[in-house]
Structure 1
Amino acid sequence: MTEIAATSTSPQVRTRLKRENATSLYAQIAARLQEEIEAGLFEPSGRLPSEAQIGERFQVSRVTVRLAFDKLASEGRIVRRQGKGSYVAGKQVRHGLDTLRSFHESLRLQGLDAQMQLLEKRRVKVPDELAARFAPARQLTLLKRLHSVDGTPVALGLSHLPSALSQLSWQALEAQPAYALIAQLMGERPARADIAISARGADAALAEALAVPPGTALLVMERSSFLSDGRCCDHSCFYIRPERYAFTMSSAFRVES
C-alpha cells in the first residue's frame, strides 16, 4: 500500500494519505483538517491555509482539495468567504481591549464577513449622565447599528457622537465605523478610550434585534472615546451575543521582589 507523508505547517502534526485506501483522497484530507480544527491549530484567526497550500502539502490537485473543502463546508465545519479564504465555522470573534479600534473594524480585520446595518439616526439632547463628558455640547447624534457576521446578528450598538455627524447621509453612516466617522469630522481618530464590560439579560427589543430569546444573557461593552486634547467624541454601548464573542487583552506585570 502506497503512503505519501504530508507535513503540516504546524511542526506538531504529521499526516499521511493512503493512496490505495477505499476512502477517497479528498475525504482523507477533510478528516485530517477536521482533526486539526479540533486541535485548535488554526487559532487565533480560524483561517485555514489556501487551496494551493493544502494541495502542495498533500501532493494532490486543487480539484481534490476543493472537494475536501466542499465536504467540510457541507458539514458545517468551515465557512468559505469570497476573496478571503476559508475559516473555521462558529469561530469566536476576538476583540482586543489593548488596541484602540472600532467594533466593526475588529470584525473585519479578522477576515470575517462583517455587516453593519444602520437602524436609526437622530439628533438628541445630551443625556444627563453624559453631560459632563460632552460639555459644552447640548446635542449629539444617536446612531443605532446592528452588527452581523455571516448574516447572523452578533451585536447591537448605540453610539452618541458629535451632533455634526447627523448631516452625513444614511449611506455614509452605515458604511463607516464610528472611529472613521470621527476622523472624517474631527480630523483625527480617538487617542484613548475608557471601556467597561458587564452583563445583562436581553429585554424584548434587544432580543428581537439580536434574534435571541428574551432574558438571554448578553455581554455589554460601554466605551467612551477621547481625542488627544481630552474632548469626548464618542460614547457607545454594545449589546453582544456572548456565544461567538470574546474580549482579550495582553498584559505585562512587574514582578515585585
Structure 2
Amino acid sequence: RHCASCHSFADADGHGIVASSPSAPNLYGFGTYNWVRGFLDPERIASEHYLGNTAMSEGDMVSTIVDLHDGVDGDDEARQTLVDQLNKAARALSAEAQLPAQAAADEKHAADIAEGSELIAGDLSCTDCHRWHDNGDLGSAPDLTGYGSREWLGAMIANPEHERFYADNNDRMPAFASDAQHPENNMLTPLELRMLVEWMRGEWYEPAVDENGDGLIPTVAEWLQSFDSGSSSAPVATGVGQVQSQ
C-alpha cells in the first residue's frame, strides 16, 4: 500500500511483491549479509535491484564502489585483497542489524566483523561520507551505526530526511511517521510501523539459514502461511517465531 509503488520485495526468482515500475532498492533480505554484500558489488549496486533506477544511480556511492574495483583492475592480488576487505566490511555492517536469523553467523564471523569495522572507519574510507559509531559526521550520507536494526529502520521509515539519513538528497521517499507527538497525523500508526520493521527483518517467523549460517528471508509462500491461523484478522508480529492475531 505504501512501499510497493517504488520498492519491490521479491526473491531471486521474482516471487513476492514486485513493483510495476521499481524506482528504489529491492528490500527483500534487507540488512542481511548477502544483501549488504551485493550493495558493495559494482555491477549489482548499479542494477535495478539496488540504485540503478534511482536518482542516485550515478551518485557518489555507485561511483565509489566502481572506482574501488577499477583501481585494482588487472592486479589479481590487489583485487582479492579488496574482495576480502569488502566481505569483512559487509559482515560488520550487516551485524549492526542484529538479525536473530543471522546471530549464529555473526558469532562465527566475530573476527571478520571486528576487522570490517576497522576497515569501514579506516582503509575503505567509508567515514568520508558516512558516520560509523565515533567516526565521521552526519549529514552527507546515511548513518551506518545500527544499520538495519529495529531502531534504525523505524527511524528511517519515519523520517528519511532526518540528518541521520538523507537530509539533503532524499529521492522521493515520504516521511511516514515524522510527528511523534501527534501520531494521528502520520501515514503509519505506531503499530503499523512496528509491524513493517519486524516484517522487513523477518521477525514474524523463524527463518532458515544457508550453509554459512546466514539468515534467509522466508519465501512469500511461507510468509502467507504464517497468516493462515483460522482467524479473519491479520496476525501481528510479536517476535521471532511468534505470531498472534490482532
Q: TM (normalized to structure 1)?
A: 0.23
Q: TM (normalized to structure 2)?
A: 0.24
More helix by percentage: 2
Q: Which has the larger radius of gyration?
A: 1
